[in-house]
Every structure is written in C-alpha cells, then in structure tokens.
Chain A
Amino acid sequence: SYELTQAPSVSVSPGQTATISCSGDKLGDKYVSWYQQKPGQSPVLVIYQDMKRPAGIPGRFSGSNSGNTATLTISGTQAMDEADYYCQTWDSTTYVFGSGTKVTVL
C-alpha cells in the first residue's frame, strides 16, 4: 500500500520559515493536501491541490510538490502555527495520510 513519510518534528523560531516535507513514491504525480491539527481539535485544511489555500488560510502558508516530495512552507511563523501537520494524497482507490510532523515554535 502507498505510504507517505514525514519527519516527526520541526522546530522554528518566531518570524522564521518552517519547512515540512512529505515523501512518497512519485508523489509529484499526485495531488497533495495539508492539514493543521492543534491539540484537542479537529484537523483543518490549509493547502489543497499541492499549492492552493482555502478561504481564510493566511498567505504565509504555501505548498509545492515535485518528484517524490511535497513541501508545506510557513513563512514568518507565528506562535499560533504550533501544531501537528499532516500531508494527504489519494489514488483511484484509497486515501493516505502522512505520519505527521509536530511544529514547535521556540
């Protein structure tokens, strides 16, 4: 079955750029979405179709996808961005979530 791999954790200073990666076989051939989940809350969609932002998501969130790696970038990271982030993709039969990355804003 298809797997998406993420680093367990990323640390970033306030105002700096956080880069969260998601890897999978030929992932660049698929659409990737990203979700933010804060403790005790439901996930929130922050990026879909690799790089599009839903209404209400700040412009500091951006995405890219090429080759075997998709990337979520948070520019000018704020304390409120501290959360778990999950990538997700799909093929014709199944949906897959990544293992998740905890972003800590130090």
Chain B
Amino acid sequence: QITLKESGLTLVKPTQTLTLTCSVSGFSLRMSGVGVGWIRQPPGKALEWLALIYYNDDQRYSPSLKGRLTITKDLSKNQVVLTMTNMDPVDTATYFCAHMETGTTGNCFDVWGQGTMVTVSS
C-alpha cells in the first residue's frame, strides 16, 4: 500500500524559507518511472502544481515559481523535500505531496498525502 505524509512548519513569517518533507512508504523512490510531486491549494481555491522529482533525479518546476523552489529526495530516509524561499502571505495554503508513475497511469497523481496547512504571517 502506497502512502505519503507531509510534515514541516505550519507557521512561517514573510521572507522566510519553507521546508516541507514528504515521507513515503509502499514504493521505492528508485523505481523506474516513479515520481513524487508537490501541489498546493490556497483556502477555497484551486489546486496548483509546484514541483516534481522523478526516480532518476530529474526535476520539474512550475514556471511561475521556478526561482523559489527546490525539490530533492533522500533515498536513505524515503523522503522528498521541497523548499520554497521568500515566503509571502499569498503562499498560505494546504501543501500536498503525491505519487506518480509514468508507465502505468501516465503522469497523473494516483495517491495523495493528507496535506499540511501552511500559514504565512508575521
């Protein structure tokens, strides 16, 4: 059974850097075709894709946020980490991580974490 769980600070100040961790189980981050993505959702608003890292360390970023995001993975801990710099109140949102497999389901997010709410406020 594939599971993902997000963790990190829930309250950050403007201009600070946010670090979120996605702990995964039930699959290997090394497995060919596997990816883990980050998606966020401001309160009452739509889903917004942020970043994705593939099994081969290839990284993809949202063009609108590319300069602020870094996604990495730690194979020893089965974790994917997202950092976002220069946080602003408009970045207040629930942040989700999700599993993706290019081979079987064709680049969609088939299993999602529970999400973690991040508030940006001074």
Contact = CB atoms under 8 A, between A and B. Distances in A.
Given A86-B47, A94-B49, A42 B63 contact: no
B105 interface: yes
B121 interface: no
Category for how many chain B residues contact A: 20 to 34
Q: Which of A33, A95, A99 has the most chain B CB atoms inside 10 A of its CB?
A: A95
Interface of A is mostly: strand
Interface residues of A, number: 24
A43 interface: yes
A88 B105 CA distance: 13
Contact of A42 (B48, B60, B105, B115): B115
B114 interface: yes
Nearest to A32: B108
A67 interface: no
Nearest to B47: A97
Contacts of B46: 86, 97-100
Interface of A: 1, 31, 33, 35, 37, 42-45, 48-49, 52, 54, 86, 88, 90, 93-100
26 contacts: A31-B106, A31-B107, A33-B105, A43-B47, A43-B96, A43-B109, A44-B112, A45-B105, A45-B110, A48-B105, A48-B106, A48-B110, A49-B106, A52-B105, A54-B105, A86-B46, A88-B49, A94-B49, A94-B63, A95-B37, A95-B52, A95-B60, A96-B49, A97-B39, A97-B46, A97-B48
